[in-house]
Amino acid sequence: MDIKRVNAPVTTVTRDLNKLDKETGNIYQTVRIIAKRANKISVELKQELNRKLEEFAYYTDNLEEVFENREQIEISKFYERLPKPTLIAVQEYLEGKLHYEFKEQDQSSQSEA
Nearest to 3 by CA among 54, 55, 48, 53: 48
Is pLDDT at 110 greater than 60 in this prediction? no
pTM, whole model, 2 decimals? 0.72
pLDDT band at 25 (very low <50, low <70, confident <90, very high): confident
pLDDT in the model for residue 109:
41
Cβ–Cβ < 8 Å for 90, 7: no
- Please write the tens of the pLDDT for every residue from 62-108: 555 556 678 888 888 888 888 999 999 998 998 888 888 777 655 54
Q: Nearest 5°: phi and psi at 48?
A: -65, -45
pLDDT in the model for residue 96:
87
pLDDT in the model for residue 33:
92
Cβ–Cβ < 8 Å for 27, 50: no
Q: What is the mean pLDDT of the chain?
A: 79
Question: CA angle, corner 92, sides to 43 and 94, nearest 5?
Answer: 145
Residue 104: count other Cβ atoms within 10 Å of its Cβ.
6
pLDDT band at 35 (very low <50, low <70, confident <90, very high): very high
Is pLDDT at 112 greater than 60 in this prediction? no
pLDDT in the model for residue 2:
65
